[in-house]
A and B are shown apart, each in its own frame.
Chain A
Amino acid sequence: MSPRRPPLFADWLLNRFGCAHQNPPLAGDILEEFQNGRSAAWYWRQALAVIATGLARNARLFWRPVAASVLIWAVEAGIGFALWRVQEPPRPHNVGLEAVLMAFFGSFLLGISPKISRSVKVRSAKADTVISACVQFILLLLAYCASAWLWNMSLWDVILIQSMWLLKMLENALRPSRIVRS
């Protein structure tokens, strides 16, 4: 008899956000129980619980990078909304100014956040995080400009882009593979 397949999307979520690759025994336990006859709904509940527990744990352990991410997002969102209010669509020089400001704030905040904490250190070079943040920001700005020029961007587009930025920043900050406890 071939083994049952767990719900694809729940399985993907578990592997992508549930730290299954870092805690294989937990992922194995969930799969074993599912193979023993648990329902797809049960699998979904377990996957969501693992994700929630993992995020809460990481947020508790690494609250400084998370707080820095939220602060960076707030500054970025503030500038983005101000630009949107002043002129629509945004002009290239304003977008460029926003990029420079955000690269500066992002580098500063991401750079100092690990130094503040004595119990947490960034395993990879801090420059890696900063470069990653800047690249993501530039990509989002390109999307911002393209949608503004092509489709006369609405408030919802701005909100969507800002939300994408926040989620990406939080994911980076919460990803345990980047950060280890000293």
Chain B
Amino acid sequence: MARGGYLGEFELMVMLALLHLGDEAYGVPISREIEQRSGREVALGSVYAALERLEEKGLVASRLGDPTAERGGRAKRYFRVTESGLRDVRQTQRALVNLWKGLPELKGGIA
């Protein structure tokens, strides 16, 4: 069976946050999006580590913005999902949905 195309839990969260945010996705809103939707605190270092892994795999692309004073003169790095990234998200979603289908006792959120 072919390997690849499936995302890990945190990588999937980062990818979904990127899709929610669109063109304005950089470290701060990405971590806030994950925190708000998942309810857990996220370290920015972990978000960047995941984004770098995803960029190495070609699933996200990044560009540098302009430096601002409130950031100590440092630029923002904007991320976006690539075509192959979108394909992997869909593939992971299909796999998870298929796995869920076989577990009727989880219907209605009862574990």
- Measured in the bound complex, the distance between the Cα atoms of B46 and A124 in whole Å is 29
Q: A32-B71, A54-B45 are in contact. List 19 more A-B contacts (CB 8 A).
A: A23-B48, A25-B64, A25-B75, A26-B48, A28-B67, A28-B72, A28-B75, A29-B44, A30-B44, A31-B70, A31-B72, A33-B28, A35-B70, A49-B43, A49-B46, A50-B45, A50-B48, A52-B45, A53-B45
Contacts of B31 in A (CB 8 A): 29, 33
Interface centre among A23, A24, A51, by most B CB within 10 Å? A24
Q: Taking the complex as formed, is A57 at the interface, i.e. its CB lies under 8 A from any CB of chain B? A: yes
Nearest CB in chain B: distance from A145 CB, A: 41
Contact across chains for A25 and B26 when beta carbons are under 8 A apart: yes
Bound-state CA distance A45–B43 (Å) is 8
A contact residues around B64 at 8 Å (CB): 25
Interface of chain A, helix or strand or loop or mixed? helix
Within the complex, the shortest CB–CB distance from B57 to chain A, in Å, comes to 15
Q: Is the CB of B44 within 8 A of A46?
A: yes
B90 interface hit (Cβ, 8 Å): no
Chain A interface extent, by class: 20 to 34
A33–B47 CA distance with the chains assembled, in angstroms? 14
Indicate with 1 or 0, residue by residue over A87-109, a CB within 8 angstroms of chain B CB atoms.
00000000000000000000000
Cβ of A27 < 8 Å from any Cβ of B?
yes
* Chain B positions 42 through 76: 1 when the CB is less than 8 Å from some CB of chain A, otherwise 0: 01111011000000000000001001101110111
**CA A80 to CA B68, docked complex, whole Å:** 52
* B43 and A29 contact, CB distance less than 8 A: no
Q: List 15 A-B contacts (CB under 8 A).
A: A23-B48, A25-B64, A25-B77, A26-B77, A29-B26, A29-B44, A33-B44, A35-B70, A46-B45, A49-B46, A50-B44, A50-B45, A51-B45, A52-B45, A53-B46
- Residue interface mask A138-149, B partner, CB < 8 A = 1: 000000000000
Number of B residues near A (Cβ < 8 Å) is 20
The answer to whether the Cβ of A37 comes within 8 Å of any Cβ in the partner chain is: no
Measured in the bound complex, the distance between the Cα atoms of B71 and A29 in whole Å is: 7
Considering residues B44, B46, B49, which has the most beta carbons from chain A within 10 angstroms of its beta carbon?
B44
A32 and B94 alpha carbons, distance in the complex (Å):
37
CB distance from B8 to the nearest CB of A (A): 15
- Smallest CB gap from B72: residue in A: A31
When distances are taken between beta carbons in the complex, the residues of chain A under 8 Å from B45 are 18, 26, 46, 49-54
Interface set, chain A 123-149, CB cutoff 8 A to B: none
Q: Given A49-B45, A53-B43, verify A27-B74 contact (CB < 8 Å).
A: yes
Option from A25, A33, A50, A54 in Cβ contact (under 8 Å) with B74: A25
